[in-house]
Amino acid sequence: MVNLRRTQTSDNPFQTQSNSVSSILNLLKKPQAFPLLLLIFLLLTWVSLKFQNRSYFSPQLQNPQRWSKEEDLKANLVRFLPSQLAKDKRGWLLNPVAAATDAGINGGAVTCASVHVGEIRPGGIRGNHRHYTSNETFIIWGARIKFRLENSKIVDKGYAEVVIGADEVAVAASPSGKAHALVNLDPIRTAFLLGCQDDIVNYNSSSTAYNIWNDL
Ligand SMILES: *[C@@H]1O[C@H](CO)[C@@H](O)[C@H](O)[C@H]1NC(C)=O
Ligand SMILES: *[C@@H]1O[C@H](CO)[C@@H](O)[C@H](O)[C@H]1NC(C)=O
């Protein structure tokens, strides 16, 4: 009985709902609704930017791979946070040879007969070659970078590989006869490197072998 009354007397709830939806739609079509629409649009933009920023700056994205000192040493690399390297508030400044020695890295250049400084844009690869006539010491920073170094002790692969976070500074060394490669994995940031070699490298086929790996 009660049920019957209810169905008889109450308006169709879908009807009222669609009425209110259509009245809102009508309202939004009026010019007065423009500030409201703009506000909604700004709010959505803010929310999406906030969301993007969060994932962009999260340590997860900067360095999603877990790292260990042990793995770094297999790649002949030591990483630092800039704050660990800075002696004062101006920031860090390194002598690559001393930095490698202080970090306990062997096999790099003891003198810089040849120095290269440059950038690697997102997605770019540098190196992927093997110098036969020079040891090389690297300082790498600025973006999320993959560093690969030939290492015969790593069974199967024959190389050690680590990923440096965008907020880290790495000191690494590649002894002569060992191939090395740097890949900028970062979607946005440019990576920077300094390479110090103990010989004037002649980039010819007898002193350097090219395109060592095709899976970088
Ligand atoms: C590279 O380092 C090795 C040992 O660390 C050294 O014997 C050699 O003279 C260095 N220079 C070159 C160009 O190989
Ligand atoms: C190639 O490089 C080596 C080592 O730097 C050098 O001795 C040789 O003369 C170079 N060869 C040519 C063809 O330039």
- pLDDT tens across 156-169, in order? 999 999 999 999 99
Nearest CA to ligand 2 atom 12: 204
Q: How far is the CA of 35 from the centre of ligand 1 (A)?
A: 71
CA-based angle 151:154:158, to the nearest 5? 55
Residues with CB under 6 A from ligand 2: 133, 202, 204, 206-207
Ligand 2 atom with minimal separation from the 200 CA = 5
Mean of all residue pLDDT scores within the chain = 87
Q: Is 207 in the pocket of ligand 1 (CB under 6 A)?
A: no
Ligand 1 atom with minimal separation from the 133 CA = 13
**What's the rounded mean pLDDT across residues 115-126?**
98
CA-based angle 215:185:207, to the nearest 5? 55
Q: How far is the CA of 204 from the centre of ligand 2 (A)?
A: 6
Q: What is the pLDDT of residues 44-84, one digit of tens each?
A: 988 888 776 655 555 545 555 689 999 999 999 999 999 99
Show Cβ contacts of residue 158 under 8 Å, excluding neighbours closer than 6 positions. Answer: 150, 151, 152
Q: Is 135 in the pocket of ligand 1 (CB under 6 A)?
A: yes
Q: How far is the CA of 47 from the centre of ligand 1 (A)?
A: 56
pLDDT of res. 163: 97
CA-based angle 86:196:160, to the nearest 5? 85
For residues 187 and 124, give the distance between their C-alpha atoms in angstroms, rounded to a whole number.
11
Q: Which ligand is nearest to the CA of 206?
A: 2
Show Cβ contacts of residue 146 under 8 Å, excluding neighbours closer than 6 positions. Answer: 161, 162, 163, 164, 181, 182, 183, 185, 216
Element (DSSP H or E) covering residue 191? strand 191-197
CB-CB contact of 143 with 127 (8 Å): no
Q: Residue 208 is encoded by which pair of tokens?
A: 């350097």
Q: Which ligand is nearest to the CA of 176?
A: 1
Q: Which ligand is nearest to the CA of 197?
A: 1
Q: Identify which of 185, 180, 106 has the alpha carbon closest to the alpha carbon of residue 149.
A: 180
- Answer with the residue of higher pLDDT: 92 or 15: 92
Share of the chain above pLDDT 70, in %: 85
Q: Is 134 in the pocket of ligand 1 (CB under 6 A)?
A: yes
pLDDT of res. 21: 76
Ligand 2 atom with minimal separation from the 201 CA = 5
pLDDT of res. 9: 47
Q: Is 63 in the pocket of ligand 1 (CB under 6 A)?
A: no
